[in-house]
């Protein structure tokens, strides 16, 4: 019997009633391990109604009391860390150690959001004019929603949930239908931590649930993370329906390798950033750009050696460096990209297409692939592959290397490896991407800074977590007050000025 998952609404698991289900696979075996209900319009609307009812009371809690729920959640998540990591790994296919990282980077944003009492403080001006004081309030929006991707089923939901509820909103999470169990468990843990029922709801579903969220007038804001075409669709539909939206999309992250970089350090960084989680990270490095032919030749030789030694295994195998891809569809797509790279004339230095894991022949495993002599016209350079495929694009000089990520349609993360501070500084200032690493391959900012890409990697103006998240999940109200001693001159028909 395949386990049947539920929604989580009003503080309890709610079975699906639409009659539609999606299959949740174990990517290690290719077998279906659970069925996830796909919500109908009515089920989604019912969850929104529940969230709207719960929000009023929740917003009336003082910020410190709300923050205490987040602090208790942190303890509970640590208590259940092993269980959560195993569940995550079994549905996604990333290794247990990497699954713990996925959870931990989410918890760090919960820690940040527990600072809500401080972060929600408004501004005050004493004596802005004769007898006039001005103060601003940051008030919650009401019901807000998050629509999240399969590749970080703990981290990205927590990036959205934590600041949203800390600000006094209630939340509808529509997680990826591929790995919904950890998001459901997160909702249970928040309830155990003392979150009132209805403040956090998980609605499982597909486009029907998403479209209902995007058009329902009770939803005030939508945070999305996923592929760029869907990010653009969600952004344009949500904003056309009068909602705030921040929508983060795909990526093609470059690493520039200057001739003065420590090449062994570069190879270590590229192997981890390119192949960790089988390349299924929006901040994965997928393009290596060595500067100068000598750097390129040396890098290609060292990388080829290392790529062929990578240990691929079951996601529960503690020795595995990466596990399977998350779905059969993605496996086929990534293999197709490797085929097209060969057809387009790139040099395939390591070919993982025939890799199988003994005893797990039906799992979605793909060996690591490395291409050299890739050019900007090739589809393997232009498009996001989202698999264990690293491409080398050789640049003649620094200016050409700088142009590559700057002119690419995506602009999420980028890195430069060099020993020269002047070059690193120039690069950081001029490159057109949202997050830059200097000798850091995956520059995901810490929780108290903000995360967001440029160009087709991000639609909207405020980033995720950090101070931006408190702006996104609140609206400002500015109060100008004058007390009786100042009201003396009678009616005025001229706009007040502060002279």
| Site residues for ligand NAD per CB under 6 A | 147-152, 174, 176-177, 206-207, 210, 225-227, 230, 248-251, 282, 384, 386, 412, 453, 457
Q: Which is nearer to ligand NAD, 22 or 63 (CB)?
A: 22
Q: Which is nearer to ligand NAD, 182 or 210 (CB)?
A: 210
Q: Which is nearer to ligand NAD, 156 or 299 (CB)?
A: 156
Separation between Cα atoms, residue 397 and residue 5, nearest integer Å: 54
Minimum CB–partner distance for residue 308 and ligand NAD (Å): 27
Q: Which is nearer to ligand NAD, 117 or 467 (CB)?
A: 467
Q: Which is nearer to ligand NAD, 202 or 267 (CB)?
A: 202
User: Is 247 a catalytic site residue?
Assistant: no
Q: Which is nearer to ligand NAD, 233 or 398 (CB)?
A: 233
Separation between Cα atoms, residue 349 and residue 367, nearest integer Å: 12
- Nearest-CB residue for ligand NAD: 226
Minimum CB–partner distance for residue 261 and ligand NAD (Å): 26
Write phi, then psi, for 368 (nearest 5 degrees): -70, 140
Minimum CB–partner distance for residue 117 and ligand NAD (Å): 28
Contact 216, 185 (CB under 8 A): no
Minimum CB–partner distance for residue 410 and ligand NAD (Å): 8
Within 13 Å of residue 186, how many CA atoms lie on the same side as its CB? Answer: 33
Separation between Cα atoms, residue 176 and residue 156, nearest integer Å: 11
Minimum CB–partner distance for residue 31 and ligand NAD (Å): 21
Within 13 Å of residue 37, how many CA atoms lie on the same side as its CB? Answer: 20
Angle (CA) 414 102 13, round 5°? 135
Separation between Cα atoms, residue 127 and residue 375, nearest integer Å: 62
Minimum CB–partner distance for residue 207 and ligand NAD (Å): 4
Separation between Cα atoms, residue 120 and residue 113, nearest integer Å: 10
**Residue among 91, 165, 206, 148 nearest 474 (CA):** 165
Separation between Cα atoms, residue 30 and residue 490, nearest integer Å: 78
Q: Which is nearer to ligand NAD, 61 or 454 (CB)?
A: 454
Exactly one of 167, 247, 282, 369 is catalytic; name it: 282
Q: Which are the contacts of 329, defined by CB distance < 8 A and separation ≥ 6? A: none
Minimum CB–partner distance for residue 256 and ligand NAD (Å): 20
Catalytic residue numbers read 282
């Amino acid at each position: 019997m395949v386990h049947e998952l539920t929604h989580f609404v009003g503080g309890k698991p709610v079975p699906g009633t639409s009659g539609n289900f999606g299959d949740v696979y174990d990517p290690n075996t290719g077998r279906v391990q659970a069925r996830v209900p796909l919500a109908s319009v009515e089920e989604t609307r019912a969850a929104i109604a529940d969230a709207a009812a719960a929000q009023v009371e929740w917003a009336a809690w003082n910020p410190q009391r709300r923050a205490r729920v987040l602090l208790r959640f942190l303890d509970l998540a640590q208590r259940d860390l092993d269980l959560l990591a195993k569940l995550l790994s079994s549905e996604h296919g990333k290794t247990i150690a990497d699954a713990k990282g996925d959870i931990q980077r989410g918890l760090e944003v919960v820690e940040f959001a527990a600072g809500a009492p401080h972060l929600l403080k408004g501004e005050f001006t004493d004596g802005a004019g004769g007898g006039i004081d001005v103060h601003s309030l940051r008030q919650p929006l009401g019901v807000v929603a998050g629509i999240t991707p399969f590749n970080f089923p703990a981290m990205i939901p927590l990036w959205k949930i934590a600041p949203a509820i800390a600000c006094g909103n209630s939340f509808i999470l529509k997680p990826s239908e591929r790995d919904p169990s950890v998001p459901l468990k997160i909702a249970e843990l928040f309830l155990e931590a003392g979150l009132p029922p209805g403040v956090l709801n998980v609605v499982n579903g597909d486009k029907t649930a998403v479209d209902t969220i995007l058009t329902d007038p009770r939803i005030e804001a939508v945070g999305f993370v996923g592929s760029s075409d869907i990010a653009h669709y969600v952004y344009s539909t949500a904003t056309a329906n009068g909602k705030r939206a921040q929508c983060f999309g795909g990526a093609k992250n470059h690493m520039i390798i200057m001739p003065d970089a420590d090449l062994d350090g570069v190879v270590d960084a590229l192997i981890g950033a390119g192949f960790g989680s089988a390349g299924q990270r929006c901040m994965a490095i997928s393009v290596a750009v060595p500067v100068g032919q000598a750097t390129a030749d040396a890098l290609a030789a060292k990388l080829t050696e290392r790529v062929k030694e990578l240990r691929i295994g079951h996601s529960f195998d503690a020795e595995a460096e990466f596990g399977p891809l998350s779905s059969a569809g993605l496996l086929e797509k990534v293999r197709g990209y490797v085929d097209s790279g060969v057809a387009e004339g790139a040099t395939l230095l390591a070919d993982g297409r025939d890799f199988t894991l003994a005893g797990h022949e039906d799992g979605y495993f793909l060996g690591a692939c490395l291409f050299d002599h890739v050019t900007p016209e090739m589809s393997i350079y232009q498009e996001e592959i989202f698999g264990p495929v690293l491409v080398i694009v050789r640049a003649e000089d620094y200016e050409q290397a700088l142009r590559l990520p700057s002119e690419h349609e995506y602009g999420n993360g980028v890195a430069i490896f060099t020993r020269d501070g002047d070059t690193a500084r120039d690069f950081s200032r001029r490159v057109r991407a949202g997050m830059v690493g200097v000798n850091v391959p995956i520059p995901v900012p810490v929780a108290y800074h903000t995360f967001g890409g440029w160009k087709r990697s991000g639609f909207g103006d405020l980033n995720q977590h950090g101070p931006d998240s408190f702006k996104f999940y609140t609206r400002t109200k500015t109060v100008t007050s004058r007390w009786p001693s100042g009201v003396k001159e009678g009616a005025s028909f001229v706009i007040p000025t502060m002279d």
